[in-house]
Structure 1
């Protein structure tokens, strides 16, 4: 049976093929341009970007540097653009559209407008509004998805730590659990004591140099590790930090032939529970309610059995 994600993917590609056909039809009957779509996009960027350089275009359009360079050389040869050395950096050149290039750009813009008019002329007002609303919905959803992907790329995780990192980890955990869950200073003492454990490794996540989260692995036995000190800085929630931290730890354990990972948490930690389940952790023990760190808590043990082949 096809799952929802696969079905969505098929529909997405189906729509993509349909829209590509629409653009192809319009290009054939209206646009009639001597330039490829990529060349047109590059000309658009040069015309509309202040202090435009080849590197700007390469990064914004995610194109190969050599490919961009060849198109710019073609534009120079055809007197569409010209280069000007940067005053601050003689190695770079600013790109400008010539008068001839502006005439070409205006003509391309005019034809692009004709494309839209041709497409919309058979639709009534309600249909046009529905189309615009649908396009806005697609743009909003996909923009949000792209933003999340970019944020995940910006996460840096390192697996070494210093004494300053330990101090910061303790401080961050104390601040979070004291401010959010109102745990008392006995928890701070507990944090200091835990760093006497048999630490195998600690991972620290950073975004733009700022502390974004941490996680640690402590050896329980030769083949069993305990996940500890898992925390995501509230400023960076819902950016994939927690997922990447747990994934780093789990992958390390698999690579080093651990048979099991376990963790202790409390039932109040609602945010982390879906993440533990996502990686396959299951509750194997639940203790009775007791007074701990100034609160009444129920401790839980979660285990993840690893398959090492």
Structure 2
């Protein structure tokens, strides 16, 4: 379906969605009356329902990476809420199930959630309640369809490592066009990206340096570079991370940062640093998801426009 929904309408729906998240307690510690994280609560519910029985399936359902699922499963097992057993049909796999304590917690979560929703629904007349039921079902269906479409598109993505003809020009163009349109960056910024990346490419064949670029056919979808020389002291510099706006929703950013994290771990750098600026919330989410933490921020003009510059670091051994 090709149509353009007006931005104010989209923003109105986003505002309502954020309000629902806040009111249901997803922004607070102790979701559903427990001391568990949101992902742990969802894991207890889905394992209790029998929706999934393995860590791999749980990760797919909750959209969590392998390392995050591993930590989650380990914590729930340590707390005595789930049991892990060998899958007799596939000895490489482990089956997950709620323990008696886990089943007891599931009943408490269910009672809490039902009462919370029942109290809210008591404020509505039957016709409004019916609209909400229908709307939630349709919206969940639309989100699943969107994710499946994105997954199909992502399957056609190729990640290339190292220098490829045109990579300097495409990375400079993606940076210049995006930051000019959204943040008013100009010639100073574009010249800085092109010049510094050109210098970096003269060192790209050295083992401590590399670039990962995502392509769909000949279309550049994004790129990130790892410079293991310019900071010294066994610190890797993550540089020129960019995703083509046309590729948003395909998981390109996460794919590139996972490739970058694997590279720095394989080469045993003590830490990885990157510099960005305040306000790039989607990128910050990806950085933090992949082990980076904000360590410093201050106003600066290194990119030609005054912004609050930020430095992030990822320590060796993060998983």
TM-score calculated relative to the size of structure 1: 0.56
User: Aligned equivalents of 2:257 and 2:131: distance in 1?
Assistant: 45
1:303 matched residue in structure 2? 313
Question: Pick from 207, 211, 224: which aligns with 2:220?
Answer: 211
CA contact (8 A) 2:291 2:318 kept: no
CA contact (8 A) 1:261 1:303 kept: yes
Larger of the two Rg values belongs to structure? 1
Q: Is the partner of 2:145 in helix, strand or coil?
A: helix
2:261 matched residue in structure 1? 250
Cα distance change on mapping 1:206 and 1:278 into 2, 3 Å: same
Aligned length: 201
1:5 matched residue in structure 2? 39
* Cα drift, residue 231 of structure 1: 0.3
- Cα RMSD between the aligned structures? 3.2
Q: Which runs of 5+ in 1 are unaligned?
A: 18-125
1:159 matched residue in structure 2? 161
CA contact (8 A) 2:169 2:194 kept: no
User: Aligned equivalents of 2:294 and 2:132: distance in 1?
Assistant: 48
* Cα drift, residue 223 of structure 1: 2.4
1:276 matched residue in structure 2? 287
User: Aligned equivalents of 1:302 and 1:165: distance in 2?
Assistant: 25
1:213-252 deviation per Cα after TM superposition (whole angstroms, max 9, x unaligned): 0000112326211000100001111221100101100111
* Cα drift, residue 308 of structure 1: 7.9
User: Aligned equivalents of 1:189 and 1:268: distance in 2?
Assistant: 22
User: Aligned equivalents of 2:304 and 2:140: distance in 1?
Assistant: 48
User: Aligned equivalents of 1:240 and 1:142: distance in 2?
Assistant: 15
User: Aligned equivalents of 1:130 and 1:188: distance in 2?
Assistant: 48
* Cα drift, residue 179 of structure 1: 2.3
Cα distance change on mapping 1:183 and 1:14 into 2, 3 Å: same
CA contact (8 A) 2:192 2:303 kept: no
User: Aligned equivalents of 2:132 and 2:191: distance in 1?
Assistant: 60
Cα distance change on mapping 1:181 and 1:208 into 2, 3 Å: same
CA contact (8 A) 1:259 1:308 kept: no
Question: Pick from 223, 248, 256: which aligns with 2:234?
Answer: 223
* Cα drift, residue 180 of structure 1: 2.1
